Chains A and B, each alone.
Chain A
Amino acid sequence: MSRPEPAPALAPAPRAEPRPALALRDVAFAWPGAGRGRGGFGLRCPDFSLAQGESVLLLGASGSGKSTLLSLICGIVAADAGVVAVAGTDLRGLSAGARDRFRAERIGVIFQQFNLLPYASVSDNILLPLRFAPERRARAGEGAAEVRRLCAALGLPADAPETPAGRLSVGQQQRVAVARALIGRPGLIVADEPTSALDAAAQDAFLGLLFGQAEDAGSSLLMVSHDPRLGERFDRVVRIEDIAAAERNP
């Protein structure tokens, strides 16, 4: 996917010195607490990166370490060794609180399903990450107008912003999740199987909207899926086994 110009509202730093949106080098990580839950499950990732504006589909079956990799990228956990850099910032150098803030500022997250707080309005759901990210809030401009613009662009009904999120169909909820990931134009969108709850036709429409909006926002896109058929839209398709080794140490 080629992209003519980064959006003018982007943070200025990346333009001066093109750094990868995401770079993992010599990463080693193991969940703490052997034997319980994910405890003892570990992951090594020697080298993986995502260029600015690039879209990558990461293919992997369950148990392949997808969730662990995403937790590392999103800064939920810190690597034991190596570098996990998002937009040039090594997350290992940040405290847990700073990583949470960094995630809010720089990463838009879309889950498989149940993305939204069902009791909150669509508008509140979309604006939620801005609550924890002042810079991203400033980039988003006037919140209500931005919510309306994104909803319109994603083909949601005009009265959607005021509707409780729980009243929308699954497909509509996933589009709201896209709007929430994209508000304030974060540099990286992380999507974890966002289409698995949709039927084939809806998947295609959803991906079209996601790509269009990510491109508009100038965001890189990292999508995880087990479904190789989705690959054709992406710049690159990577199998998780090729970049990361899962290890289970009892």
Chain B
Amino acid sequence: MILRLAIGSLFARALTVGMTVLAIALSVALFLGVEKLRTGARASFADTISGTDLIVGARSGSVQLLLYSVFRIGNATNNVSWESFQDIASRPEVDWAVPISLGDSHREFRVMGTTPEFFRRYEYRGGRSLEFAEGRGLDDLYDAVIGADVAAALGYEVGDPIVVSHGLASFTDHDDQPFRIAGITARTGTPVDRTVIVSLEAIEAIHVDWRGGGKTGAATPVEAIRAMELTPTAITAALVGVKSRLRIFTLQRWINDYPEEPLLAILPGVALQELWAIVGVAETALVGVSAMVVLTALLGMTAMIFSTLNERRREMAIWRAMGARPATILGLLVLEAMLMAAAGAVLGAALLYAGLAAGRPLVDAAFGIWLPIEPPNARELWTLAAVIGAAALASLLPALRAYRLSLADGMMVRT
């Protein structure tokens, strides 16, 4: 009955209560939304590469290796010799090994040389493979495959010519050997979107006339290059899959102890975690800000309760006359606050799901973050419970004032 009366009292003040509930709902939706985005971004980040058991490169730091091999950020300090790669690829534990060669660019995008196997082996977001939005994979020596962002930014289409520049941010183009765009990959939300992929042999081919960082003499004709043996002497890194996951650590140790050359093998998942620990400071700030918004909404509710106390003195006197203790009055106000917060929390969650349903394709297309729509998890339910609990705590201030007023007024209020 008390609950029914509390609800009746709230409905009687529908406008102010409604605004308060709406403020709480928006703040809750914001908080949950930030949480969703945060976990989505984190999962998306962790999903940048999957299906690869080890990444191998020259010895440096694991985060650095991950950054240049997967995110195309920074540079390799050293290369891995082709012999070392062959040694690793022929180990009994190894199922497959895909070499990648970095160092050249096209406009603001990196160029990566690899084997056609890359398109079969590279997986992201829990086992999704690369797909072609248009065209097909690498076939000819001078075929290039571009990522979705490259195509969108430069307006390229299948069949367009594309010239690779030597190095990064350089003015020297490999314009004697233009490529042709053979395919455009579908958007993945990974750095592949921002990469121009050519074959490993093509990387060799465009550097045939280069020795020690400079061009030598006249350009070798393309026909002559096509006839050459274009096995690379070195690669930047390699993605490796093992036959049995139990053997990952054996292989990793073997590579890290490789005597011919200082190498480093990292587990992508572990390195991603390390990297996220660095990037994650921003997410903490974001959560902090949205939590402040929730607190602000609850503060607004507290102010609203305070402002109505005076006009409700008569009502409190009626409760007291009927035998309600001052503690009942206090409980009534706290109950009302909790009802408002609960309504706000439920409405906020509903807003979030509506927003997710509407915004999910956009977020995926723009940022490659796939936000799952699923029933609220334990953490989210705890968040909602915490909002209701915080509302109860916040309402204690006006409720205690009502308590004192009802002690002083008793059942006699002069109206």
Contact = CB atoms under 8 A, between A and B. Distances in A.
Partners in one complex: yes
Interface of A: 37, 67, 70-71, 74, 76-77, 96-97, 100-101, 103-105, 109, 111, 113-121, 124, 127-129, 131-133, 164, 166, 180, 192
B412 A101 contact: no
Interface string B314-332: 1101111111111110000
A118 B322 contact: no
A76 B411 contact: yes
A113 B415 CA distance: 9
B230 interface: no
Between B2, B328, B411, the greatest number of chain A beta carbons within 10 A of the residue's beta carbon is seen for B411
A164 B317 CA distance: 19
Interface residues of B, number: 27
18 contacts: A67-B412, A76-B320, A76-B412, A96-B326, A101-B323, A104-B322, A109-B321, A109-B322, A114-B314, A117-B5, A119-B5, A119-B12, A120-B4, A128-B1, A128-B5, A128-B319, A132-B323, A164-B8
Contacts of B172: none
A76 B405 CA distance: 13
Contacts of A129: 322-323
B412 A71 contact: yes
A132 B1 contact: no
Nearest to A62: B414
B408 to A, nearest CB: 7
Contact of A71 (B8, B411, B415): B411
Interface string B12-38: 100000000000000000000000000
A120 B8 CA distance: 6
B163 to A, nearest CB: 77
A236 B408 CA distance: 32
B9 interface: yes
B410 interface: yes
A67 B321 CA distance: 13
A102 B410 CA distance: 15
Between B324, B326, B327, B328, the greatest number of chain A beta carbons within 10 A of the residue's beta carbon is seen for B324
B404 to A, nearest CB: 12
Interface string B266-307: 000000000000000000000000000000000000000000
Contacts of A128: 1, 5, 319, 322
Nearest to B408: A37
Contacts of A104: 322-324
Between B5, B321, B412, the greatest number of chain A beta carbons within 10 A of the residue's beta carbon is seen for B321
Contact of A117 (B11, B315, B323, B328): B315
B46 to A, nearest CB: 52
Interface in B122-160: none
B390 to A, nearest CB: 26
A180 B328 CA distance: 19
Given A70-B412, A76-B411, A124-B4, A116 B318 contact: yes
Nearest to B13: A119
A199 B314 CA distance: 23
Between B318, B324, B325, the greatest number of chain A beta carbons within 10 A of the residue's beta carbon is seen for B318
A120 B10 CA distance: 11
Nearest to B320: A76
A133 B410 contact: no
A164 B1 CA distance: 15
Contact of B410 (A71, A121, A131, A180): A71
B410 A115 contact: no
Contact of A120 (B5, B314, B326, B408): B5
A131 B8 contact: no
Contact of B323 (A37, A67, A121, A133): A133
Given A37-B408, A71-B411, A114-B415, A100 B5 contact: no
Given A109-B322, A118-B12, 8 more contacts: A97-B325, A109-B411, A114-B415, A120-B5, A120-B8, A121-B8, A129-B323, A132-B325
Contacts of A166: 12
B8 A119 contact: yes
A115 B5 CA distance: 15
Nearest to B411: A76
A105 B325 contact: no
Nearest to A102: B323
A132 B12 CA distance: 23
Contacts of B320: 76, 100
Nearest to A106: B323
A124 B7 CA distance: 13
Contact of B1 (A67, A76, A96, A131): A131
Contacts of B328: 132
A68 B412 CA distance: 9
A116 B411 CA distance: 13
Contact of B324 (A71, A96, A120, A132): A132
Contact of B325 (A74, A96, A180): A96
A111 B321 contact: yes
Contacts of B325: 96-97, 100-101, 132
Interface string B191-224: 0000000000000000000000000000000000
Nearest to B325: A100
Contact of A74 (B315, B327, B411): B411
A138 B271 CA distance: 71
A116 B12 CA distance: 14
A111 B410 CA distance: 13
A164 B12 CA distance: 10
A167 to B, nearest CB: 12
A74 B324 CA distance: 12
Contacts of A114: 314, 318, 415
A215 to B, nearest CB: 23
A100 B323 contact: yes
B403 to A, nearest CB: 12
Contact of A76 (B2, B5, B410): B410
Given A70-B412, A119-B8, A120-B5, A132 B322 contact: yes
A16 B375 CA distance: 66
A103 B323 contact: yes
The 10 closest A-B pairs by CB, nearest first: A104-B323, A76-B410, A119-B12, A132-B323, A119-B8, A109-B321, A129-B322, A67-B412, A100-B325, A128-B322
